[in-house]
Amino acid sequence: MTADNPTGPLGGHLDDDYPAYTMGRAAEMLGTTQGFLRAIGEARLITPLRSAGGHRRYSRYQLRIAARARELVDQGTPIEAACRIIILEDQLEEAQRLNAEYRRAADSAGPDAAA
């Protein structure tokens, strides 16, 4: 899931990468526990930045990823599997984006460029 694909109440693009939310606020916004956020951090799905005092801070982009993980877990997917699914979805989306770029470049080069 990229910043171009916002979902739910956390959609939008204003300061997507700024680590504005504390762990408590992030958990409240997602309707989950702080333990869940720690677990997806341990699974390396997201890596929150740390404040000067060592507290975790989350960006809107990270909260959208966490919301997707929560959806999968709520559907019965184990947390480790949910994290892997999201990583694979993101890799697939990036590969599709690159393929589209390569196709556009090849189409603009014309048929004589391939010869």
What is the separation of C-alpha 90 from the centre of its chain, rounded to a whole number of angstroms?
A: 7
Overall average pLDDT of the 24-47 stretch: 95
Confidence of residue 1 (pLDDT cuts 50, 70, 90): very low
> Starting at the edge strand that comes first in sequence, how are the strands of the sheet with 49-50 ordered?
21-22, 56-58, 49-50
Residue 31: pLDDT above 60? yes
The C-alpha atoms of residue 70 and residue 63 are separated, in whole angstroms, by: 10
Confidence of residue 3 (pLDDT cuts 50, 70, 90): very low
Query: Both tokens of residue 45?
Result: 């799905």
Contact assessment for residue 49 and residue 41, using Cβ atoms and an 8 Å cutoff: no
pLDDT value for 110:
74
Strands 56-58 and 49-50, bridge-based pairing:
antiparallel
User: pLDDT tens, 6-23?
Assistant: 445 555 545 688 888 999
User: pLDDT tens, 67-80?
Assistant: 999 999 999 999 99
